[in-house]
Amino acid sequence: MKSVLITGITGQDGSYLAELLLEQGYEIYGMIRRLSTPNLSRIEHILEKIELIEGDLTDQSSINNALKKSQPNEVYNLAAQSFVATSWNQPVLTGDVTGLGTVRILEGVRHVCPDARFYQASSSEMFGKVNETPQNENTMFYPRSPYGFAKLYAHWACINYRESYGMHSSNGILFNHESPRRGIEFVTRKITDAVARIYHGAAKELRLGNLEAKRDWGYAGDYVKAMWLMLQQKEPDDYVVATGRTHSVGEFAELAFREAGLDWKKYVKTDAKFIRPAEVNLLLGDASKARRVLGWEPEVTFEELVKMMVREDLKRYEK
Ligand code: NAP
Ligand code: G4F
């Protein structure tokens, strides 16, 4: 039986990836950090089928211990300080976890299990102030936040460990992907959660920042399949994973409110508090390499994604 270590297993992607790999028959180990209240809600339904190991991306010995204990054939590094807005408030922590944390785990793999295949959660945020549209694996990087430049450092670390030590390390340059399990501070979930609260009379308005920003939004359940496919290839490589369609924050809000029979214009207010020091205005990915080499295709459309998220939040508030 193949064994796998997932960092960030308590996050959105970690939970979907763990479900996928359980279906594939993997023995699953997840690295979790100590919190005052455990954050296991996304993996509650599979807790009996996986093993959790305490560890933190800022702590080398706990990472090494997790690798020794799990003896993984595959390692998925999904853990990060992943919220772009917070990265301006906590730039050093973001660099430590999201950037250096990746080097710590690469070092761990190099010493403890050098034959393990490694996946790095790279990000379309690295394209930042985009140099061309759509963005592909050869597009120049121009990060626009401490999160963006921490991910870029991690991205290049992954490539350098591949080239220096012959490690099977791949970067998935994933564009935004969402789901009903998306953290509540990210704009899509903030919107669908607010739609449900407004619908049920628990809120009167929704305050957002830049409504013009455009993102290539896909479904997280589809994107974790691409991660797994990357590690099944003979050779490690880097891949853009995206839908090839882009929509503005305003369009997302309009559709989400409409799904609940509400007019978004009546409820959405703009608030300077949510405007970022520097913005990534437009992301649109070209995933033709992933399609060609991995045979990967997104299955859930933008409209289906919005509907799925709104319906789940409406159900949650009904309860
Ligand atoms: P997420 O829901 O925010 O999950 C992040 C995970 O990292 C959580 O499990 C969190 O643990 C863990 N973590 C945070 N700090 C840690 C630390 N110091 N040590 C160990 N674990 C730590 O993120 P996601 O949306 O699933 O994204 C997964 C990865 O893909 C992230 O690296 C993200 O930056 C990257 N990415 C995401 C997208 C996207 O659109 N979702 C796109 C491109 C790249 P707690 O539960 O304890 O907080
Ligand atoms: O949902 P967001 O916070 O996601 P963002 O910044 O694009 O980052 C996400 O995707 C990246 C991939 O490109 C990941 F690497 C990263 O980990 C994360 O998952 O914001 C999306 C857009 C931004 O342009 C933001 O300025 O929505 C705009 N926005 C407008 N009002 C808002 C709000 N974002 C948030 N979070 N909250 C608002 O009120």
Per-residue pLDDT tens digits for 175-203: 999 999 999 999 999 999 999 999 999 99
**C-alpha 201 – ligand 1 centre gap (Å):** 32
What is the distance between the alpha carbons of residues 217 and 247, in angstroms, rounded to a whole number? 8
Cα angle 80-83-86, degrees, rounded to a multiple of 5 = 110
Is the whole-model pTM more than 0.85? yes
pLDDT at residue 41, rounded to an integer: 98
Q: Are 5 and 12 in contact (CB under 8 A)?
A: no
Measured from the alpha carbon of residue 125, the closest ligand is: 2
Pairing of strands 238-241, 169-174: parallel
Pocket-testing residue among 152, 187, 206, 227, ligand 2, by greatest number of atoms within 8 A of Cβ = 187
Model confidence at 319, in pLDDT bands (50, 70, 90)?
A: confident
Residues 4-54 have pLDDT tens digits of: 999 999 999 999 999 999 999 999 999 999 999 999 999 999 999 999 999
Q: Which domains does the chain have, with CATH numbers?
A: 3-177+219-241 (3.40.50.720), 183-216+245-283+300-318 (3.90.25.10)
- What long-range pairs does 36-42 form, CB within 8 A, spacing at least 24? 39/10, 40/10, 42/10, 42/11, 42/12, 42/14, 42/15, 42/181
Q: What is the mean pLDDT of the chain?
A: 98
Residues with CB under 6 A from ligand 2: 82, 84-85, 123-125, 175-176, 185-187, 190, 208-210, 213, 215, 249, 274, 276, 279-280, 283
**C-alpha 277 – ligand 1 centre gap (Å):** 22
Q: How big, in percent rounded to 5, are the helix, strand and coil portions of the chain?
A: 45, 15, 35
Residues 83-142 have pLDDT tens digits of: 999 999 999 999 999 999 999 999 999 999 999 999 999 999 999 999 999 999 999 999
Pocket-testing residue among 12, 188, 215, ligand 2, by greatest number of atoms within 8 A of Cβ = 215
